[in-house]
């Protein structure tokens, strides 16, 4: 039966003896293995009670098994819901109660804690999947047949839900359809000239758009291969580059590489493309990389809700500090943030996009969805930018209160709510300030009650275990009061200015 995304993957994975994934220990899975494993996993999902349209929540360590599980969900007509491995149990409870999955799959080490939350939130089934080809789901899938009658799904059916935090606090589940994912992967394959000869050095996590869809789906559509690292590790990257042709990364990857004397033209001679995204790449990093290797990093721009929107050109000039041109099929405009009226070329305003890449809406939040679309169907990104005379898009700021640390989004409101709830705290403001490694460092400015014994250590101690580590402030500063404008609103720009040097960046 027709399954929009999986059929395309099958169509392009024609050389079934070819390696799809090779892991650090040299284990290889071919496209044949991939198709058989997705069949086995899909059978195991059905046996676990998963029906078409059900959500499958997954918080597992990076491994080929996690990719098999993603594609098994697609084949079974289920909705894949990946979760950051850094999320604490307290954070997971919200996702499970909001998404109401039929099954949650977690790392074997977390089974007990997750089972408790599953029971509390009414999730009927829990399975485990480990990095060492272990866990209950791995074993159950191994006992199943590789043949599976792939469930029929059209272009507009949901393939995945990815949660993205909201500026008002509650995370929103972005609903992505088969065609959102398929169309974007096919576009990127062509735009970045991927062929079955490519080998992608994959060092990103696979619970976000970048590592899962941009990287993995593009490779699948090209019938190409991946070298799978559990995480970014400069030593491993240098060791593997002679065997790879491409890499995709967040700016922190490149910041770390340009500080390394091993980065030379010779070391990168086998690589044809380095892509950067998820956060702004500093022009100085772009320049340093070019000087050391002779290669220009290709910067692109996307969002969880929209997949990829723009890209610097493959053949033309890749300009540092810009995110390039709208991708084929994507309409992009810069509009007045208040009225939505299109602005003249060169003016700064809200970036809005429309195209087959744009998501279907937020899970069970019709009002929030409606608020983020214009009447003519353009999605309001929350990013401020302009289009220059040559058509390159520049992102100049954010209209949303968001910090991006090492490629992970951190919403100040969520951290402020936690801090404000602590005894002895009057109020807090969380900001992002330049950080030499993570781009922006999450920083909390806190007003304490008179006489309260609050310092950085106490506040950080209280946040630990409640929030994922990447969200924890790198510094906490206790002050007497926060600067406010005449309307009483905290002036975060003044705080950002006051603390811009604290990380020495
Ligand atoms: C780890 N830590 C972090 C981060 N990562 N803190 C802030 N921000 C982070 N991103 C914590 C660790 O828990 C640790 O805490 C300490 O910082 C130092 O860890 P370190 O070993 O240096 O970090 P790492 O493990 O090397 O990770 C850094 C990383 C990683 C490689 C940059 O965060 C990463 O892979 N980021 C990629 C995120 C990503 O894929 N984003 C795409 C989103 P402690 O010392 O206390 O233990 S998709 C997206 O944005 C859109 C769609 C798009 O356009 O792509
Ligand atoms: P997420 O919600 O994790 O999908 O993050 C999407 C946000 O990351 C966008 O709205 C932008 O603010 C930011 N972003 C992604 N790529 C870039 C880039 N190349 N330059 C600047 N910001 C980027």
| Ligand 2: nearest atom to the Cα of 303 | 4
Q: Which helix (H) or strand (E) holds 196?
A: none
- Ligand 1 mean position, distance from CA 405 (Å): 7
- Ligand 2 mean position, distance from CA 345 (Å): 22
Residue with tokens 């027709």: 2
The predicted structure's pLDDT at residue 296: 98
* Whole-number Å distance between alpha carbons of 213 and 220: 10
The HSE-up count of residue 307 (CA atoms within 13 Å, CB side) is 33
Strand partners, 188: none
The closest ligand to the CA of 280 turns out to be 2
* Whole-number Å distance between alpha carbons of 178 and 192: 21
Tell me the average confidence (pLDDT) per consecutive run of 10 residues in the chain, 505 residues long.
95 96 97 98 98 98 98 98 96 96 98 98 98 97 98 98 80 97 98 98 98 98 98 98 98 98 98 98 98 98 98 98 98 96 96 98 96 96 97 94 95 95 96 98 97 94 95 97 93 97 88
| Ligand 1: nearest atom to the Cα of 301 | 54
The predicted structure's pLDDT at residue 165: 77
| Ligand 1: nearest atom to the Cα of 302 | 54
Residue of 277, 311, 319, 352 best suited for mutating to test ligand 2, as the one with most atoms within 8 Å of CB: 277
Q: Which two structure tokens, joined as six digits, stand for 387? A: 């289009």
- Ligand 1 mean position, distance from CA 463 (Å): 18
* Whole-number Å distance between alpha carbons of 41 and 47: 10
- The length of the chain is 505
The predicted structure's pLDDT at residue 167: 64
Q: List residues near ligand 2 (CB under 6 A).
A: 164, 209, 277-280, 299, 301-304, 323, 381-383, 395, 398, 404, 409
The predicted structure's pLDDT at residue 226: 98
| Ligand 2: nearest atom to the Cα of 382 | 10
* Cα distance from N-terminal residue to C-terminal residue, the chain: 55
Query: Phi, psi at residue 287, to the nearest 5°?
Result: -65, -45
- Ligand 1 mean position, distance from CA 249 (Å): 11
* Whole-number Å distance between alpha carbons of 180 and 177: 5
The closest ligand to the CA of 381 turns out to be 2
pTM: 0.97
Q: List residues near ligand 1 (CB under 6 A).
A: 204-205, 208-211, 231-232, 250, 252, 277-278, 302-304, 405-408, 438, 469-470
The predicted structure's pLDDT at residue 170: 78
* Whole-number Å distance between alpha carbons of 371 and 492: 24
- Ligand 1 mean position, distance from CA 470 (Å): 6
Protein residue whose Cα sits closest to atom 9 of ligand 2: 303
The predicted structure's pLDDT at residue 105: 98
């Amino acid at each position: 039966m027709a399954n929009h995304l999986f059929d395309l993957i099958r169509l392009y994975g024609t050389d079934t003896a070819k390696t799809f994934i090779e892991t650090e220990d040299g284990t290889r899975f071919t496209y044949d293995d991939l198709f058989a494993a997705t069949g086995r996993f899909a059978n195991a999902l059905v046996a676990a009670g998963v029906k078409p349209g059900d959500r499958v929540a997954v918080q597992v360590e990076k491994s080929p098994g996690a990719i098999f599980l993603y594609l098994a969900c697609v084949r079974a007509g289920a909705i894949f819901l990946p979760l950051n491995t850094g999320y604490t149990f307290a954070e997971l409870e919200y996702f499970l109660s909001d998404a109401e999955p039929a099954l949650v799959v977690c790392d074997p080490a977390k089974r007990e804690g997750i089972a408790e939350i599953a029971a509390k939130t009414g999730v009927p089934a829990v399975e485990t999947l480990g990095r060492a080809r272990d866990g209950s789901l791995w074993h159950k899938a191994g006992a199943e047949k590789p043949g599976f009658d792939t469930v029929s799904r059209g272009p507009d059916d949901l393939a995945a839900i990815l949660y993205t935090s909201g500026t008002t606090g509650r995370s929103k589940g972005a609903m992505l359809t088969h065609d959102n994912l398929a169309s974007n992967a096919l576009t990127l394959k062509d735009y970045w000239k991927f062929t079955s000869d490519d080998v992608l050095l994959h060092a990103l996590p696979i619970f976000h758009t970048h590592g899962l869809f941009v990287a993995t789906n593009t490779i699948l559509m090209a019938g190409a291969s991946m070298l799978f690292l559990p995480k970014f590790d400069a030593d491993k990257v240098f060791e593997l580059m002679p065997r790879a042709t491409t890499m995709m990364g967040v700016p922190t990857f490149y910041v770390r590489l340009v500080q390394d004397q091993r980065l030379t033209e010779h070391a990168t001679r086998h690589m044809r493309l380095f892509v950067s995204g998820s956060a702004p790449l500093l022009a100085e990093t772009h320049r340093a990389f070019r000087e050391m290797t002779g290669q220009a990093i290709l910067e692109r721009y996307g969002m969880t809700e929209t997949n990829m929107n723009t890209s610097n050109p493959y053949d033309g000039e890749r300009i540092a500090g810009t995110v390039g041109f709208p991708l084929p099929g994507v309409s992009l405009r810069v509009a007045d943030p208040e009225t939505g009226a299109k602005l003249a070329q060169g003016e700064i305003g809200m970036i809005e996009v429309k195209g087959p890449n744009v998501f279907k809406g937020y899970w069970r939040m019709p009002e929030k969805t409606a608020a983020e679309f214009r009447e003519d169907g353009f999605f309001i990104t929350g990013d401020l930018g302009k289009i220059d005379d040559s058509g390159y898009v520049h992102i100049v700021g954010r209209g949303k209160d968001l910090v991006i640390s090492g490629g992970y989004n951190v919403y100040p409101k969520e951290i402020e709510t936690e801090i404000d709830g602590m005894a002895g705290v009057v109020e807090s403001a969380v900001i992002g300030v330049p950080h030499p490694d993570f781009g922006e460092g999450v920083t909390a400015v806190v007003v304490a009650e008179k006489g309260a014994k609050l310092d950085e250590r106490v506040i950080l101690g209280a946040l630990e275990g409640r929030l994922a580590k990447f969200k924890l402030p790198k510094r906490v500063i206790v002050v007497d009061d926060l600067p406010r404008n005449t309307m009483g609103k905290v002036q975060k720009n003044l705080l950002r200015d006051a603390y811009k040097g604290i990380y020495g960046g």
